[in-house]
Structure 1
Amino acid sequence: MDASAEVRAHPESSSTNASPSNPPLSGPPVGAWLLLCSTLVFAVIVVGGVTRLTESGLSITEWKPVTGVIPPLSHADWEEEFAKYKATPEYKMLNAHMTVDDFKDIYYMEWGHRVLGRVIGGAFVIPLAYFALRKRLSPGLPARLAGFAFLLGGQGALGWYMVKSGLEDEILTTPGAIPRVSQYRLAAHLGAALVLYAGMFYSGISIMKDGKFAHKGTWAGLRDAGNTWMQTSKALRAFRRHSALLTALVFLTAFSGAFVAGLDAGLLYNEFPMMGGRLHPPADELVAPAYSGTDGKERWRNIFENPTTVQFDHRVLGVATYTAAALVFALTFLRRRALPPAAMRAAAVTFGVANVQVALGISTLLYLVPVPLAAAHQAGSVMLLTAALHMILAVRRPGAASQAWRKASYSLLYS
C-alpha cells in the first residue's frame, strides 16, 4: 500500500503526523484532565455552599496551608481547637451551648472544604508541569493555564481572607451585628471559583472539539464540515452573540446569589412572585436610610448591603436569565434550518436546565432555604453556566493549531 492509500485508509491517525512543522496540538488527555479539574471545582463550589448553609465556615480559626491538612487526632487536640473556637464571636453569640461533639461536625465540614481545595491544587499543578515539559500544549494554552494556576493559588488566600472577616472581635461590640463573613468577600470567593470553573471547562471542551476537527473535520455536529465554521450567516452570528450575552447574564445572576447567601436574604419575603403582596417591596425598603450613609449619598450600598434589595435584585436577574434562555431557544427553533445541529441541541439543553433552576430557586425560597434545596440551587447555577458555555462552544471557531493540522491532513489525504 502506498503512502496516499494509507492516508485514505486511516485519515485520523495520519493527520497527527501530517507535517513536522505543524504547531503542537493538545490531545484528548489534556482535555480530559481539564474537565476532571473543572468537575473538582464544581464539587468544591457545592461543598462550599453546604459549608456556609450549615454555618460551619467559621469553625477553623487559623489558616495552615500545609499542616492544616491533618485534623485533630486526639482528645487533647480537639479540646485545643474547641478552645480557639470558643474565643470567636460566633460561639459567644450563637453557639455557647455547643459541645465538643457538636463542634466536630462543623469542623469536619470546613476541613473537608479546605482539603478538597488542596486536592484540586495538586490535581491541576502536577499534570500541568508534566504536559508543559513534554510540550503537549497548543500555542497560547500554557499562559492561560498558568493564569488558572495563579487564580487557584489565590483562592486559598481569598478564602481565608473571607473567613477572617467573620472572626473579628468588633462584631461583639457592633449593635445588631451577626457573626458571619463579609458578603463582599464571599462574592469575590465564589466569583473567582466560577471563573476558574468556566475557564477549565471551556478549555477542556475546546481541546476535545479541536481534536475532532483536526482529525475528522467534525464541527458543530457536522461530519467532514471542512470550512463550514467560516460561514458568516446572519443566524449564526446572532446565535454566537446571544450565547455570549446569555452566559454573561447567567454568571451575573449566580454572582448576585453570593450576596443573597452572605446576608441570609433568602429568609425574607418567602413567597413568589409577590413580595409582601406586591411585585416589589416599598421604595423605602429598597433604598433604606440605614444603608444609604449618614448623609444619604451612598444609596448604592443598598444593592450590596440591604437584604431586601439584594433578594429583589437576585429575583429580577433570575427572571431575566430565564426569559433570555427562553428567547434564545425560541429564536434558535425558528431558525433551525440555518443553524448546525449542535447549536440546536445546546440551546434546548440550556432552556431545560433554566427551567430546573427556576424551580429550585422558587422552592428554596418558599421552604425557607433548607440545606438540600439551597445546595441543589447553587449546583444548578453552575449547571446552567455550563449549559450556556456549551452554547458558545457549539459554534466555536476551531483553534489555529487545529486548523493547521486539518489543512495538512486534508492536503496529504488528497495529494
Structure 2
Amino acid sequence: MLVLRRGSTLCRSSNQNTSCLKKLISFQPRTSSTASAAINQSVPFKPSRAVGVWLAGCSGMVAGAVLLGGITRLTESGLSMVNWTLIKEMKPPTNQLEWEAEFDNYKKSPEFAAIHSDFTLTDFKRIFYMEWGHRMWGRCIGLFYFIPLGYFLARRRIAKIDYKRHAAFSFLLLVQGGYGWYMVKSGLKAPEKSTDIPRVSQYRLAGHLGLAFILYSGFLWSAMTNLKRDLLFEPHQNLRKLRIMAHISKSMVFFTAMSGAFVAGLDAGLIYNSFPKMGTFWIPPEILQFEPKWKNFFENSTTVQFDHRVLGISTLALITSTWTISRFTTLPRRARLAANCLMGMALLQVHLGITTLKNYVPIPLASMHQCGSLVALSFSLWLCHELRTIKKVVKIIKK
C-alpha cells in the first residue's frame, strides 16, 4: 500500500519505494523511466480543512433545500406565494390585515379556484409558511456561501486553481434563485385546458432540481478534495474498467433523479400503483398516445412513470455490476467502503420507490425516496473521487 500525503514530500511503502512506484506505473504505458525521482517531489495542491468543512456545510444546506422543496411540492404549497421580491418577502405577514391581504392575492391564482377554494386563512398560513421557509432557506445558502467565500479569498485560503470553480458556484447560486421564481410563475397561469390542474411546468421543475443536484455535487466534490489528507491506493488491472463503470453509474443516478422530477411534476406516481406490472400490462397501451411521439416522454404521465421504472432498475443493475467489479479489484479501504455503501443505497432506493408507489405516494415515503436519490448520488461521487485519486497521483508522479 502506497501512502502519499498531500502538501508534503512523504511517499512511503512497505517495500522498496522504487519497486512500489514501478508497480503503480506498470499500468501507465507512457510513464517516464525516471519515475523514481518523482517520489521526492511534493504534491502541489495543499488542501485546507476549514475550506473543506465549509464546502461540506454548503452541500448539506443544498441537500436540505432539496428536502424542503420536495415536501413543498408534495404538500402543494409551492404556489402559495404569488409574488417574488428579494428583500421584502423575507418578512412574513405579522398581523391580521397583512395576512388577509396575502390571502386575497392567493385567491386570484388558478390553484385556489381549482383545488383550494375551500381553504380558510388558517389553511393558507400552513402552506404559506412551507413555501416561505423554502425560499428563506435558499437565501441562507447564499449567505452561508458568499460570506465565508469573501473571508477565505481575503486570507488566501483558496487555491488559485479553484477560482474558476467558485466562480461557477457563485453563478449557479444566483441563477438558481431566479430560476425558482421562473418555475413558480409557470404555475400561476391558468392551464390551457379547463380540465387540467394548475401546476408548475414539469420541465422547469426538472431544471430547478437539476441545478440543485449540480450545486450539491460540486460542493461535495470540492469538500472531499479539501478534506482528504492521504491518498491511499494499490493499482490493479481492473481499475480502468471500474472507474468507467463508476462514472456511468453516477450519471445514471443523476438522470434517474431527473426523471423523478417529471414524475413529481405530473403526479405520475398516482397511476398504476402496482409493481412489477403496470396494472395488468408490462407495457401500457397508452404509452405513445401523444403526438408528436417525443412529447410522451415528458408529458404523458404513463410514459413518464414507465421511464422512471426502467431507469431505476437499469441504474440498480449498473451499480450492481460496478460493485461486482470492485470485488475483484484491489482497492483501499475507503474506496471499497464507498462501493459497498453505493450498492446498499441502490437496493434501499429501489425498495423505497416501489413502496412509495404501492402506497399511493404518502408524503413521508415520497420525501425519503427523494432524499435517497441524493444519498445515492453522494455515494457515487465518493466512489468516483476515491478512484480519481489513483489517476491524479500517477499524473503528479509522472511530472
TM range (shorter): 0.7 to 0.9
- Determine if the alignment matches structure 1 residue 117 to structure 2 residue 138: yes
Structure 1 residues 22 and 364: CA distance shift in structure 2, 3 A: closer
Q: Which residue of 2 aligns with 1:356?
A: 348
Q: Which residue of 1 aligns with 2:366?
A: 374
Distance 2:84 2:117 in 1: 23
Instruction: Say whether the 8 Å CA contact 1:24–1:137 is kept in structure 2.
Output: no
- Determine if the alignment matches structure 1 residue 157 to structure 2 residue 178: yes
Instruction: Say whether the 8 Å CA contact 1:34–1:200 is kept in structure 2.
Output: yes
Displacement of 1:339: 2.7
Instruction: Say whether the 8 Å CA contact 2:319–2:343 is kept in structure 1.
Output: yes
Instruction: Say whether the 8 Å CA contact 2:76–2:127 is kept in structure 1.
Output: yes
Displacement of 1:345: 1.4
- Determine if the alignment matches structure 1 residue 131 to structure 2 residue 152: yes
Q: Aligned with 1:219: secondary structure? A: strand
- Determine if the alignment matches structure 1 residue 206 to structure 2 residue 225: yes
The runs of 5 or more residues in structure 1 that have no matched partner are 1-10, 221-227, 293-297, 408-415
The one-letter code of the counterpart of 1:353 is M
Where does 1:282-301 land on structure 2 (aligned, <5 Å)? 282=285, 285-288=286-289, 291-292=290-291, 298-301=292-295
- The structure 1 segments of at least 4 consecutive aligned residues displaced by more than 3 Å after TM superposition are 11-16, 21-24, 398-404
- Determine if the alignment matches structure 1 residue 269 to structure 2 residue 272: yes
Distance 2:144 2:391 in 1: 25
Instruction: Say whether the 8 Å CA contact 2:6–2:43 is kept in structure 1.
Output: no
Distance 1:401 1:130 in 2: 30
Instruction: Say whether the 8 Å CA contact 1:332–1:347 is kept in structure 2.
Output: yes
Instruction: Say whether the 8 Å CA contact 1:183–1:263 is kept in structure 2.
Output: yes
The one-letter code of the counterpart of 1:268 is I
- Determine if the alignment matches structure 1 residue 341 to structure 2 residue 344: no
Instruction: Say whether the 8 Å CA contact 2:9–2:43 is kept in structure 1.
Output: no
Displacement of 1:400: 7.5
- Determine if the alignment matches structure 1 residue 259 to structure 2 residue 262: yes
Displacement of 1:234: 2.6
Q: Which residue of 1 aligns with 2:321?
A: 327
The one-letter code of the counterpart of 2:358 is L
The one-letter code of the counterpart of 1:41 is V
- Determine if the alignment matches structure 1 residue 65 to structure 2 residue 83: no
Q: Aligned with 1:55: secondary structure? A: coil
- Determine if the alignment matches structure 1 residue 187 to structure 2 residue 187: no
Write the deviation string for residues 289-326 of structure 1: whole angstroms up to 9, x where unpaired.
xx31xxxxx21011000000000000000000111111
Query: TM-score when scaled to structure 2?
Result: 0.86
Where does 1:25-36 land on structure 2 (aligned, <5 Å)? 25-36=46-57
The one-letter code of the counterpart of 2:177 is G
Instruction: Say whether the 8 Å CA contact 2:100–2:121 is kept in structure 1.
Output: yes
Q: Which residue of 2 aligns with 1:219?
A: 232
Distance 2:394 2:82 in 1: 49
The one-letter code of the counterpart of 2:246 is S
- Determine if the alignment matches structure 1 residue 48 to structure 2 residue 49: no
Instruction: Say whether the 8 Å CA contact 1:270–1:366 is kept in structure 2.
Output: yes
Distance 2:204 2:68 in 1: 17
Q: Which residue of 1 aligns with 2:381?
A: 389
Query: TM-score when scaled to structure 1?
Result: 0.83
Structure 1 residues 399 and 26: CA distance shift in structure 2, 3 A: farther
- Please, which moves more after superposition, 61-70 or 301-310? 61-70
Displacement of 1:341: 2.6
Identify the structure with bigger relative contact order (alpha carbons < 8 Å, sequence gap 6+).
1
Distance 2:65 2:44 in 1: 35
Displacement of 1:280: 1.8
Displacement of 1:343: 2.4
The one-letter code of the counterpart of 2:178 is A
The one-letter code of the counterpart of 1:180 is R
Where does 1:69-148 land on structure 2 (aligned, <5 Å)? 69-148=90-169
What's the RMSD between the two structures over aligned residues?
2.4
Q: Which residue of 2 aligns with 1:313?
A: 307
Identity in percent? 45
Q: Aligned with 1:361: secondary structure? A: helix
Count of equivalent residues: 365
- Please, which moves more after superposition, 313-322 or 393-402? 393-402
- Residue from 173, 176, 179 that aligns with 2:195: 176
Displacement of 1:278: 2.5
Structure 1 residues 160 and 114: CA distance shift in structure 2, 3 A: same
Distance 1:201 1:237 in 2: 23
The one-letter code of the counterpart of 2:288 is V
Distance 1:195 1:380 in 2: 16
The runs of 5 or more residues in structure 2 that have no matched partner are 11-41
Displacement of 1:15: 6.8
Displacement of 1:66: 1.1
Displacement of 1:175: 3.2
